Structures are given as C-alpha cells and as structure tokens.
C-alpha cells in the first residue's frame, strides 16, 4: 500500500531519490515469514521506512543529494541501516536532502526540490525534507533523519510530524556520511511520539564502530511514551526559554507556543520561565564550527576515492582533476561552507573564529546545565516561522540560517531534543512545532512530555 502511495504522490512531492519496489517487497515478505514461523521479531518488523540518503546502504545508492556521489553504491551498510534490517524494518528507499545535509529547505539537493505536502509551493524544511515530506504525504509511517543543527526537528515542525535528535552519541554515526562530526546525530521520525520511540529503540545503542558512541543502556523511550500518553505531567518541571520569542517570530508560531504552554500547565506540569543568555550566540558559533568541520570532512571527496571524477584525460595532473571535480561536483552552498570553514581554521584566524566559537559552545552548554538544575525539560517553538515558499530564501543564506535559531543550542551541547506537532498557524494554516529539550542521556523525558502533549 505504501509503495502504491509513493507511486501516486511522488510526481508532486518528490520525497525520494531512490525507491526499490522489489527489495522492499522481499524485505516485507521476509518479515512476514519470520513472524509466521514464530521467530522473535521486533514490533516494527514489516513496517516501511524512508531513509535519508546520507546513510550508507549496500543495496541502494547513497548520494547525500550531491553530484559528487551520484550513483555511488557503498560497500558497507551504516549501523543504522544494519539495525533496521535486523529488526525487519522495510527500507522503502532513500530520501532527498540538502547536499551533504547543508541547508534548511531541501532546495540545495543536486537532484531537485522536495515539496511540502501541506502546500506544494512550500519547502518541507531541511536538510531532511525528503524524510519529513514522505511522512506527511503518508508515503511511509517511519523515517530516519540526521540533525547537525536542526535537520530532523525543523523539517518535522514544518510538516506537522514528530522528529527527535537523540543525545549525541546515542545513535551510531558509522556509515553516516560526515558533515560536522561533533554535531551530527541520526534520529527517528514518525507521525506519532510512540512510533518515533519504537524506532529510536531499534537504531540506538552502543556501537564499537563509532568512537563517540555512548556505551550505556538505551533510555527507555517507548515506556516513557506510553507513560506520557496517559496525559499526566504532575511533578514535571518545564522551563520556557525566554530568549526564544519576540522579534523575528511569526505571530501564529508565538500563539501556538503560548497555547502549548497552557496545555502543559493543564496537564499538571509546573511551568517556569528560564533564561539562557548565551543562546543568542549559538547560531553564530554553529556557523563557524559546522563549516570548519565540514571543510575538513569534505576533503575526502578528492576525485580519487569515491564517485565523480572530471577531466581525467591522461594529460591533467591529480590536482587539476581534483579541482575540476570539486568545482563541478559540489553545489554553491557546500562550496560556501568549505570556504568559510577553511578561512575560520586558517592560521591567524583560528583563535578569533574557530577558537572563539568553541568558547561560546561551552557557554551554551553551561546555560543548559544551569537550566536543568531547575527544570526537567525546556520548551520553545521549534522554528521561528512556518514553511516558507520555495525560492523565497534561496538567495539569502542569512535568512535560511535563521530557520535553525531554536534548534542549534541542543546540537552544540549534545543534548536530546524533539519537535512535536503543535497545531496550525492561524494566518497561513500551516503546521507549527513545539520543541522539547532534555539533558544528555535523558531522552526519555522528551517522549514522556511529547506523548502527553500530542
């Protein structure tokens, strides 16, 4: 049924870069057989899923939305893909994304834009817009995204779906093509908090192949989602981040947020206002740290080891081939990030830019630590506005970067955070997201509060 739905809506939505009907049907059949034979199967066995095209898969290309990797079929499965397969989850295909996960609209993909199913003239958010659009268009009930600065939560917010950035290190990065290694984190997406929780438990957990993977039991997120569904938040302390409101926020987003806070109070939560004074510098710090790490990570695309190679006619030097390939293989935003990053890391500028940004990162973490002494979770709008029109911010990187204003602090600190649907904005009828933030290793709090709220 989902494959039929994909076929019907893809011409308009464009969420997928690759769908393998036969592989999907075979995987579904195997899940059915396992269940019929009484073999122990995960509750998600046989459930279809849309996988962001930044995770390596041996049976499908992995392009990261880049010409650089067009048609590249990796020789190994990412840990996330391997765990999905082990659980019998059916990978329907790979979803569209901003090139190498750099963007907030999915307009930076080399393979075309994805449309928001709520309004086809609008973006589905980014960089994981393909995954969120697939959920919102009912092409798949589950999806996987990655969140470096908001790319799970921001698309979830603007498509009316649920997206979770687990604690950094909670989900293995092995086989997740690196953008900014100290920030990148894979996570679950769904249409309900419980669905996301069940998927979280399938993909999370220690992996010796990722040196930053946390070696501790996976938080009991499914139990927390079930507990939260009872709608009782008595004893839970919720902090409203004072800095995330006011100028630059759409009225309907602020109204929805105010209503959400009232709802949390009605459910029994104790709500207080909390100040996180350094959050306003988080965006600036992120746009130095993420490009710096990206400039280093993307050096591997050297025309020798993977994918595209341009101009290798026997007369050109290795350097010329490398340079031609990178010129033609990378899109404008990726080039901008590489230039910003190499500049910020260059000698003489390192202390002023990269070093300074790392100090801000520490201050943001301290703000969180102080806040979490007083409250169990923090809340804010996920995004300052609802989905914007395709093309509207394409020539204005600053406007595009502002889409992640509220999501970036949790990445800098390595905390867990979720976006859960929070109704529609009055002025445009488009979905709004409520962001819930929890300390590292306390992911279950997101699910308890999120399930109570949804």
Active-site positions?
52, 127, 151
DSSP lists the bridge partners of residue 419 as 163, 435
Report the residue from 57, 127, 132, 172 that binds ligand GLN according to the rule CB under 6 A. 127
Report the C-alpha gap between 375 and 345 in whole angstroms.
37
Size of the site for ligand GLN (CB under 6 A): 14
Give, in order, the Cα–Cα distances in Å from 14 to each of 64, 132, 150, 380, 433. 15, 11, 21, 30, 23
383 interacts with ligand GLN by CB under 6 A? no
Q: Rule CB under 6 A: is residue 62 a binding residue for ligand GLN?
A: no
Question: CA 392, 395, 399, 403: dihedral to nearest 10 degrees?
Answer: 70
**Parallel, antiparallel, or unpaired: how do β-strands 431-438 and 416-424 relate?**
antiparallel
d(CA 200, CA 145): 11
From the list 95-103, 131-139, 213-221, 298-306, the region that binds ligand GLN by CB under 6 A is: 95-103
Q: Which of residues 166-205 bind ligand GLN (CB under 6 A)?
A: 179
- The rounded distance, in Å, linking the Cα atoms of 239 and 273 is 5
Least Å distance, CB 147 to ligand GLN, is 5
Q: What tokens were used for 45?
A: 């066995």
Q: Where are the alpha helices (DSSP H) in 46-123?
A: 79-86
Q: Does 404 bind ligand GLN (CB under 6 A)?
A: yes
- 325: closest CA among 298, 352, 294? 298
**Contact region with ligand GLN (CB under 6 A), list: 145-153, 277-285, 296-304, 323-331:** 145-153
What is the DSSP code string of 387-447? PPBTTTTTT-HHHHHGGGTTTHHHHHHT-EEEEEEEEE-TTT--EEEEEEEE-TT-HHHHH
Write down the least CB distance from residue 253 to ligand GLN, Å.
Answer: 18
Instruction: Write the binding mask 301 to 320 for ligand GLN: x where contact by CB under 6 A, - elsewhere.
Output: --------------------
State in angstroms the smallest separation of the CB of 148 from ligand GLN. Answer: 4
**Helix (H) or strand (E) run with residue 94 in it:** strand 90-95
Q: Which is nearer to ligand GLN, 194 or 290 (CB)?
A: 290
Q: Which of 124, 141, 150, 409 binds ligand GLN (CB under 6 A)?
A: 150
Quick one: which of 104, 114, 295, 385 contacts ligand GLN (CB under 6 A)? 104
**Based on CB atoms, which residue is closest to ligand GLN, 166 or 228?**
166
The 10 Å Cβ neighbour count of residue 371 is 20
- Least distance (Å) from ligand GLN to the CB of residue 366? 23
| Minimum distance, C-beta of residue 229 to ligand GLN, in the bound complex (Å) | 29
- The structure tokens listed for 419 are 């976006």
Report the candidate in 84, 77, 124 with the shortest Cα–Cα distance to residue 105.
124
Q: Considering only 143-151, 224-232, 323-331, 433-441, which stretch makes contact with ligand GLN by CB under 6 A?
A: 143-151
Q: How far is the CB of 119 from ligand GLN (least distance, A)?
A: 20
The reply to whether 53 sits near ligand GLN by the rule CB under 6 A is no
The binding track of 265-304 with respect to ligand GLN, each residue x by CB under 6 A or -, is -------------------------x--------------
**Integer Cα distance of 128 and 151 in angstroms:** 5
Nearest CB to ligand GLN, comparing residues 95 and 222? 95
CB of 103 to ligand GLN, least distance (A): 5
**Interacting residues toward ligand GLN by CB under 6 A:** 101-104, 127, 146-151, 179, 290, 404
């Amino acid at each position: 049924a989902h494959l039929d739905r994909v076929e019907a809506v893809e011409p308009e939505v464009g969420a997928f870069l690759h769908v393998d009907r036969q592989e999907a049907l075979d995987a579904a059949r195997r899940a059915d057989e396992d269940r019929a034979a009484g073999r122990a199967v995960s509750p998600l066995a046989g459930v279809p899923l849309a996988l962001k095209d930044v995770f390596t898969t041996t049976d499908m290309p992995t392009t990261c939305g880049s010409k650089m990797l067009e048609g590249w079929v990796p020789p190994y499965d990412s840990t996330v893909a391997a765990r999905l397969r082990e659980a019998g989850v059916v990978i329907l295909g790979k979803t569209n994304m901003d090139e190498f996960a750099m963007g907030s609209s999915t307009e930076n993909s080399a393979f075309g834009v994805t449309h928001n199913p709520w309004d086809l003239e609008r973006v589905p958010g980014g960089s994981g817009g393909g995954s969120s659009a697939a959920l919102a268009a009912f092409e798949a009930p589950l999806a996987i995204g990655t969140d470096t600065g908001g790319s799970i939560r921001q698309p979830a917010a603007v498509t009316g779906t649920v997206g979770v950035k687990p604690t950094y290190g909670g989900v293995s990065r092995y086989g997740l093509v690196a953008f900014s290694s100290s920030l990148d984190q894979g996570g679950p997406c769904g249409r309900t908090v419980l669905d996301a929780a069940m998927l979280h438990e399938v993909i999370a957990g220690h992996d010796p192949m990722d040196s930053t993977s946390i070696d501790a039991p996976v938080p009991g997120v499914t139990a927390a989602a079930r507990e939260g569904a009872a709608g009782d938040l008595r004893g839970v302390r919720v902090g409203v981040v004072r800095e995330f409101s006011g100028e630059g926020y759409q009225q309907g987003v602020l109204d929805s947020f105010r209503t959400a806070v009232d709802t949390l109070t009605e459910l029994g939560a104790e709500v207080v206002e909390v100040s996180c004074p350094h959050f306003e510098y988080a965006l600036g710090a992120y746009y130095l740290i993420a490009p710096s790490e990206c400039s280093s990570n993307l050096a591997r695309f050297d025309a020798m080891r993977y994918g595209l190679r341009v101009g290798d006619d026997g007369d050109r030097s290795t350097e010329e081939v490398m340079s031609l390939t990178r010129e033609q293989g990378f899109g404008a935003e990726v080039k901008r990030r590489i230039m910003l990053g190499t500049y910020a890391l260059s000698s003489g500028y390192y202390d002023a830019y990269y070093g300074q940004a790392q100090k801000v990162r520490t201050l943001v973490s301290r703000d969180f630590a102080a806040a979490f002494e007083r409250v169990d979770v923090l809340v804010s709008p996920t995004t300052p506005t609802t989905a914007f029109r395709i093309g509207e911010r394409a020539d204005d990187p600053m406007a595009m970067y502002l889409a992640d204003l509220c999501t970036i602090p949790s990445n800098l600190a390595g905390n867990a955070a979720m976006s859960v649907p929070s109704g529609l904005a009055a002025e445009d009828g488009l979905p709004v997201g409520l962001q819930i933030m929890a300390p590292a290793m306390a992911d279950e709090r997101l699910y308890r509060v999120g399930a109570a709220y949804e």
